[in-house]
Amino acid sequence: MGQKTPQIYSVELNGAKDMKQTDKGDDKDKYRGLWSTCLELRKNHHKEHVTKEIDLGLSSTQAAELLARDGPNALSPPQETPEIIKFLKQMVGGFSILLWVGAILCWIAYGIQFSNDKSSSLDNVYLGTVLALVVILTGIFAYYQEAKSTNIMASFSKMIPQQALVIRDSEKKIIPAEQLVVGDIVEIKGGDQIPADIRLLFAQGCKVDNSSLTGESEPQPRSCEFTHDNPLETKNIGFYSTTCLEGTATGMVINTGDRTIIGHIASLASGVGNEKTPIATEIEHFVHIVAGVAISIGVLFFIIAVSMKYRVLDSIIFLIGIIVANVPEGLLATVTVTLSLTAKRMAKKNCLVKNLEAVETLGSTSIICSDKTGTLTQNRMTVAHLWFDNQIFMADTSEDHFKQTFDQSSGTWASLSKIITLCNRAEFRPGQERVPIMKRVVVGDASETALLKFSEVVLGDVMEIRKRNHKVAEIPFNSTNKFQLSIHKTDDPTDKRFLMVMKGAPEKILEKCSTIMVNGQEQPLDQSTAEAFYTAYMELGGLGERVLGFCHLYLSADEFPETYSFDVDAMNFPMSNLCFVGLLSMIDPPRSTVPDAITKCRSAGIKVIMVTGDHPITAKAIAKSVGIISANSETVEDIAKRLNIAVEQVNKQDAKAVVVTGMELKDMSEDQLDEVLTSYPEIVFARTSPQQKLIIVEGCQRQDAVVAVTGDGVNDSPALKKADIGIAMGIAGSDAAKNAADMVLLDDNFASIVTGVEEGRLIFDNLKKTIAYTLTKNIAELCPFLIYIIVGVPLPLGTITILFIDLGTDIVPSIALAYEKAESDIMNRKPRHKKKDRLVNKPLAVYSYLHIGLMQSLGAFLVYFTVYAQEGFRPSTLINLRVEWEKDFVNNLEDSYGQEWTRYQRKYLEWTGYTAFFIGIMIQQIADLIIRKTRKNSIFQQGLFRNKVIWVGIASQIIIALILSYGLGSITALNFTMLRPQYWFVAVPHAFLIWVYDEVRKLFIRLYPGSWWDKNMYY
């Protein structure tokens, strides 16, 4: 990884846009900002006089001026849509346009009425106002929900403000990093985040972690020498937002905020378009269906009405009624609530969803491109294997149970453990005695930390052992020596010898040895033992583990008396003929929950692709151990090795798995990548740069897959944005990644993604149920209008009453369906196909509209006719009564029994009819709610009482209806009247009929899967 050149870097960025275009001149053009920054860096480098100012720093006034000129040292957040635009979008999105049309038609109708007759009633004005209010209120509600979920994110990104130690007015001051300006002198030390792009002026043992910028995981040494023309390569530049791992440094700020390298990359990410979420597409599709139905029925009946010689004004009013009846006003708000409920549930399971719609996206995911480190693995080196006495021992690598079960009786182990303990510079931070060993914070690098924790668990108090074996000399590890050495006094007071312990790259250690310890006894190192060593070394290396060799030597007391002064530079001690003790291998082990999660993904039809910057062998080993590459599948190379033939001769179809390196990927064309992605079920991308992730994501998306991508680095942000759902790591993730992502994984754990997928799938199913439930009554609301126009009965259901169903009784029940449990194991079926498995499909629409919807209409009409008949108007009398019924000056309209009715008496009866129809729908919606609990299983399989919220919903329906009928019965504007109690039960038989009908439907679906019935009746 260390060899990565900036050219690759830019080419890859370019590749992200267009793989074929690698011309560098073009790069310069495209990323002029980036390059000019570099030039500026070089110029700065020659400003020698600056060094004088190190002690002085900038003066406060200078700094203030510069701050005013350059702005604060912070990345400007991605350009946000202005709040007002967001709000207006809610106002015109979805059904809102239709309702606005309805409202405006109302006002126009009133205008016409008013111009004809000054005393015309204000009904249409009220209706228009109510419709407008509905739009505005649901808009505000959706906006509020949206804003609330965005706020979670905002609070999240506002972590503890970064501080910087700066020299100003020749004093050291700690100021917020935001206030840094170009020219400030800052001091950094191990553990600090670098607060801006800085040029180092002093550096002592300084190493930085540039992984968030370049994807290199190795620590990079930094000094104050100018080593390369390219700012990304030269050693004397520290980058904003990278971390200083060890050492100290003083540097001058050369770029702040958006002008930093990371700022440039972050702004590149915003150039990658955000994909529309699948659920947004689905809802749009659904809105189109419903709007289509509404408009076509509306226009059709407008024409019918006009040709039936209705006045145009009346026809417009019919049109409004049809629109209002057809549009499920409350549904979009319900969907928002449902999604945010799920988002909350997911947040509890460590998936923080930034964008509500992403909740479902996770459910339809068909490919997950996952990082390895930290996501699949624990992100800490852990001792996995030991080799001594010619034997490989396994160590426990699970997260918390650190039970070591290997044989510890051998004398070799005693020696090995001593080396592990003593030849180690890592230390626990003090004051952590009560913290479990595995969770303690350690000062030191990853391998040493692993060894320290390992020995602490196995041997007990390591610091005490070290104290007893006083260290007299030490050579720390460096990359040229590839070993680490220390010399100690022993803890045996009778033994005056010094003990020299050493660890390092196994082959380097072996070179220095002439003997090997077996069962506590030193034996000469012969050919066969050396071979055994190499076999073990290769085996452990083949597992992708980092292997270290350990050796020691007791220095004779004669040659090295107690007073001997060791000189590590002169190396006045033996460096050969040492005694080899053993090998120890370490790996960043997989999280224990991951293999299960991967199995779940597999049965859920989700392909998991590992994308890592790590070495292919390590990547493959981890992939195998977590199951991304399953136990019995082989790569082309594996087959070649097994059959002992050349790789080219292997039939590629036999290989199920493939490991693709970044280098190979770079040479692939789009088609070749597509072929890899389609032909292998198990894929690992190793040694890839974060930029190549984008290429992989695009490749997956070309297969029509819904792609989830995990990422943490700044350079991941384009891929995170491009993915259907970008998942940023909450712990390891950079702010830029979190900004670009749709979801933040709070525990960085892959398994949490899988629980998220489960939730996402459940919500899709439940949204289907909610929509089916809501659409059903639309027919029952629409039919009254159609019958009214064609048959001429008094209007059975008023427009305002419809709104009370849509926004009153139906709201809680439709939300309650979100709490419904899954019908079967939703993780055992394939992810839904983006284009085939629609949220609202034909069976759903047909079954809801034409089956249950029509049954419901019949039931509601029954209640309506019953009320009219028992008051004196038989159904036969009602036909074509409309015109006389609505004439204001006809005050002696005769009913079926010869009684005469005034206009107001009729009107009151009409309202009673509305109430009756309303109650009829409400009662049947209870049945509808119950049947919608399942789509396939019998209600009795699902359990009638398992989802308590459903019953809350039913109670809310009844209570709202009771209040409307009996509580508000006297408020005439609402058109409700007191309804005789028995009318509440007229529709009950119909409700049961609906239930039975649906049970029969489900029974046939279960009995004859795949049949015509199944295909047309299962939604």
Partner 1 sequence: MWVMLQTLNDEVPKYRDQISSPGLTVFPKPVTALEYSFSVSKRESYEGYIEDLKKFLKPYTAEAQKNLRNCQDGALFEQKGPVYEACQFPLALLEACSGESDPEFGYSKGHPCILVKMNRIIGLKPQGKPAIECTGNSKGENTTTLPVYPSEGNIDLKYFPYYGKKLHASYLQPLVAVQFNYTASSTPKEVTVECKIVGSKNLKNYDDRDKFLGRVAFKITMRA
The site for partner 1 (CB under 8 A) is made up of 858, 862, 865-866, 869-872, 874-875, 888-889, 891-892, 894-905, 908-909, 912, 972, 980, 986
Bridge pairing between strands 367-370 and 707-711 = parallel
Query: CB-wise, 296 or 902, nearer to partner 1?
Result: 902
The distance of closest approach from Cβ of residue 927 to partner 1 in the complex, given in angstroms and rounded to an integer, is: 18
The distance of closest approach from Cβ of residue 905 to partner 1 in the complex, given in angstroms and rounded to an integer, is: 5
Query: CB-wise, 280 or 890, nearer to partner 1?
Result: 890
CB contact at 8 A, 987 and 920:
yes
The distance of closest approach from Cβ of residue 896 to partner 1 in the complex, given in angstroms and rounded to an integer, is: 7
Query: CB-wise, 750 or 873, nearer to partner 1?
Result: 873
State the alpha helices, DSSP H only, in 588-707. Answer: 594-603, 616-626, 636-643, 662-667, 670-679, 690-702
CB contact at 8 A, 27 and 43:
no
Read out DSSP for 469-481?
Answer: S-EEEEE---TTT
Bridge pairing between strands 197-209 and 427-428 = unpaired
Respond yes or no: is residue 371 known to be catalytic.
yes
Query: CB-wise, 651 or 876, nearer to partner 1?
Result: 876
Amino acid 410 reads: S
Distance, CA of 466 to CA of 599 (rounded, Å): 45
CB contact at 8 A, 272 and 718:
yes
Structure tokens at 503: 């660890």
The distance of closest approach from Cβ of residue 964 to partner 1 in the complex, given in angstroms and rounded to an integer, is: 19
The distance of closest approach from Cβ of residue 986 to partner 1 in the complex, given in angstroms and rounded to an integer, is: 8
CA distances from 339 to 150, 246, 335, 544, 840 (A): 14, 45, 6, 42, 17
- Tokens 């396994």 correspond to 394
Choice among 371, 748, 806, 810 that is catalytic:
371
Phi and psi dihedrals of 408, rounded to 5? -110, 15
Phi and psi dihedrals of 187, rounded to 5? -110, 135
Helix or strand run (H / E) with residue 610: strand 607-611
Q: Output the CA torsion sign for 851, 854, 858, 860.
A: positive
Query: CB-wise, 165 or 890, nearer to partner 1?
Result: 890
CB contact at 8 A, 771 and 839:
yes
Distant-in-sequence, close-in-space partners of 24: CB < 8 Å, separation ≥ 6: 7, 10, 11
Query: CB-wise, 461 or 884, nearer to partner 1?
Result: 884
The neighbouring-strand residues paired with 517 are 522
CB contact at 8 A, 977 and 949:
no
The distance of closest approach from Cβ of residue 287 to partner 1 in the complex, given in angstroms and rounded to an integer, is: 35
Query: CB-wise, 524 or 898, nearer to partner 1?
Result: 898
Composition of the chain by helix, strand, coil, percent to 5: 50, 15, 30
Query: CB-wise, 634 or 895, nearer to partner 1?
Result: 895
CB contact at 8 A, 771 and 847:
no
Query: CB-wise, 671 or 884, nearer to partner 1?
Result: 884
**DSSP strand E in 465-606: where?**
471-475, 483-489, 498-504, 513-518, 521-524, 546-555, 578-587
Structure tokens at 356: 């509500």
The distance of closest approach from Cβ of residue 314 to partner 1 in the complex, given in angstroms and rounded to an integer, is: 18
Per-residue exposure over 352-381, b if at least 16 CB sit within 10 Å of its own CB, e if not: bbbbbbbbbbbbbbbbbbbbbbbbbbbbbb
Query: CB-wise, 841 or 905, nearer to partner 1?
Result: 905
Residues labelled as active-site residues:
371
